[in-house]
Amino acid sequence: MKIVIISDYSSFQGCRQEGRVMEVVAWLRSQGHAVTVIQPSAFKSVSCPGYPAVRLSLFPSRKLARKLQAIQPDAIHIATEGFLGMAARKYCLKYGLNFTSSYNVQISEQINRCIGLPKRWIDRWLCSFHSPAGKTFVENYSMRNRLLMAGFRRMNVLLSDGSPHSTAKQFLRSLEPTNRYLVVKKRYSWQAA
């Protein structure tokens, strides 16, 4: 399976939720999946004020679209809500592709601290950002319940027992094929596109 993970984090070091991404990627690759991680290093970008681990990719839509068209992924996961995440979401919606997303736990607090927008506005925007996703991954049930109360839908909790393998297996089972008629070859002898 060709899987693309899109993240606005320029480095996964020091990011608790995003730090697991590379462990998941390594496990998926060890199982024979072709995983591409698209990060700001492939684009012109600037540091996010007040949060240097996030790079703001400048006008990434066209270049990201070319990358995704070249890869032709079977599954797309949008790991962050930044400029790359917004460009990936726009691409998926434009071409009618299914995708999954991750809710970043502290994002509304970070945006509030950096630019002063009220948290309820940010939460409303985040809800609309994630609503078209087939599933949105969160870290725990209390976060899932809080977001469901705020109007989010299709929340999927990725629990970890400390093993990247169990998290990766849950992640793989929860991915949404980009084309809803896709049938995974390992399970059946044919594939519809």
Sign of CA dihedral 166, 128, 37, 191: positive
Ranges under pLDDT 50 in the chain: 13-14, 180-193
Residue the block writes with tokens 């434009």: 94
**pLDDT given for residue 148 in this prediction:** 80
- Tokens 């990936």 -> residue: 88
This prediction has a pTM of 0.80
Per-residue pLDDT, 189: 32
Topology of the domain comprising 2-174: Rossmann fold (3.40.50)
Q: For position 26, what pLDDT does the model report?
A: 84
Cα Rg of the chain, angstroms: 16
Residue 34's pLDDT is what? 93
Contact in structure between 77 and 3 (CB atoms under 8 Å): yes
pLDDT for position 17: 52
